[in-house]
Amino acid sequence: MTDSKAPILSVIIPAYNEENTIEEIIRQVDAVDLPIEMVIVNDCSKDRTKEILESLETKHPKQLLHHDKNQGKGAAIRTAQKALTGDIVIIQDADLEYSPVEYPKMYKYFVERDADAVYGSRYSGNEVLVDSFIHYYGNRVLTFYSNIMTNLHLTDMETCYKMIRADFFKSIEIECDCFGFEPEVTAKLVKAKSRIFEVPIYYEPRIYDEGKKITWVDGVKAFWYITKFNLFR
Ligand SMILES: Nc1nc2c(ncn2[C@@H]2O[C@H](COP(=O)(O)OP(=O)(O)O)[C@@H](O)[C@H]2O)c(=O)[nH]1
Ligand SMILES: [Mg+2]
């Protein structure tokens, strides 16, 4: 980044029925020592997510946005895309699978290495809580297929931790309302000839009993999204 001021990181938090974890994740984002703006999108949660969000005080500035109808993670990211004002963007799920302590390590690449995007990889040899067989290999296969299509060598295409220059991020049309956002943005970064770095991150997978919403159907749909955004755009 050419600007001499420390770039502002817009942290997009899509949240749907996350009453058990929303307060703790916001507390963790708030504790990060970087210039941060939080853009939280409550996607018509049916539980106490909205009330909790409205009652929270934070040190970093925050924008709190609400959907009247549940629309999906991609749609929530699109709402935040229009509202954010920072220089760099990261998506932060509202559960506790990804840890905001990783932000400074990723942010550094924008300041020192002129990155366009930095992917936090769950699968590049770092210490993690052991994942289920199906979730791990599902992710590996999707990454492998995406890599064939993009001719990149990522180890984790589906990671939620994608830190991206805001000017590029704001310029793309996010077409997917659902979890197809990950292959979509990856294909669009590659088509724009972006400088993409990858760094290892800590990851603690949650199970369905803990509120995980993505299913094998989303995994199957991802094959179509990888094909569509690489071949038909
Ligand atoms: N806005 C919005 N977010 C959602 C929806 N479904 C899931 N999410 C959020 O997307 C994130 C990821 O969901 P999760 O089930 O943990 O999937 P994974 O982490 O990608 O495997 C969480 O923060 C959820 O709250 C939805 O319909 N709308
Ligand atoms: Mg999650």
| pLDDT recorded at residue 144 | 98
What is the CA(97)–ligand 2 centre distance, in A? 6
Ligand nearest to the CA of 160: 1
| pLDDT recorded at residue 233 | 83
Mean pLDDT within 9-26:
97
Contact 201, 90 (CB under 8 A): no
Contact 117, 165 (CB under 8 A): yes
What domain range includes position 76? 9-231
Quick check: CB of 76 below 6 Å from ligand 1? yes
Domain for residue 41, yes or no?
yes
What is the CA(127)–ligand 2 centre distance, in A? 18
Count of domains observed in the chain: 1
Residue 20's CB is within 10 A of a number of other CB atoms, namely 16
What is the CA(5)–ligand 2 centre distance, in A? 33
* CATH number of the domain that residue 117 is part of: 3.90.550.10
Residue 19's CB is within 10 A of a number of other CB atoms, namely 18
Domain for residue 56, yes or no?
yes
Domain for residue 1, yes or no?
no
Domain for residue 65, yes or no?
yes
Contact 180, 146 (CB under 8 A): no
Least Cα distance to 121 among 79, 82, 152 occurs for: 152
pLDDT at 3 over 70: no
Domain for residue 4, yes or no?
no
Quick check: CB of 191 below 6 Å from ligand 1? no
Interval 106-128: pLDDT, tens: 999 999 999 999 999 999 988 88
Interval 119-152: pLDDT, tens: 999 999 888 889 899 999 999 999 999 999 999 9
- Phi then psi dihedrals of residue 9, to 5 deg: -100, 115
Closest-CA residue, ligand 1 atom 1, reads 73
Domain for residue 86, yes or no?
yes
Domain for residue 125, yes or no?
yes
Of ligand 1's listed atoms, the one at least distance from the Cα of 206 is: 16
| pLDDT recorded at residue 162 | 98
What is the CA(23)–ligand 2 centre distance, in A? 15
